[in-house]
């Protein structure tokens, strides 16, 4: 049996957590993602940027009243990458 390689971008615990959360919701703001992942704001920001540059998520920055708000949503490319990653993992476990 030949094992499929794991997507290195999604094989990071925090990036995988972000994508896993976004798969199940229409969108999620930065505060919600930080709460769910337990990540620091700086680390979360860096990982969101990496996923956005790969085209896996879209990031919308704006304001809610006077407070800055960052909202993320998964793209079709992100859904496909996640699905392929899950399929590859299944090959490793059985």
* pLDDT tens readout for residues 62-86: 999 999 999 999 999 999 999 999 9
pTM of this structure:
0.94
Q: Would you say 75 and 55 are in contact if contact means Cβ atoms under 8 Å apart?
A: yes
Give percent of the chain with pLDDT exceeding 70. Answer: 100
- DSSP character for 38? -
Range 29-65 burial, b when 16+ CB lie within 10 A, else e:
ebeebbeebebeeeebeebbebbeebebbeeeeeeee
């Amino acid at each position: 049996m030949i094992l499929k390689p794991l997507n290195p971008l999604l094989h990071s615990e925090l990036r995988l957590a972000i994508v896993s959360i976004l798969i199940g919701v229409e969108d999620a703001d930065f505060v919600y993602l930080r709460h769910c992942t337990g990540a620091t704001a700086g680390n979360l920001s860096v990982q969101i940027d990496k996923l956005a540059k790969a085209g896996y998520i879209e990031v919308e920055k704006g304001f809610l009243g006077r407070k800055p708000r960052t909202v993320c949503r998964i793209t079709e490319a992100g859904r496909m990458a996640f699905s392929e990653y899950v399929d590859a993992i299944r090959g490793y476990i059985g």
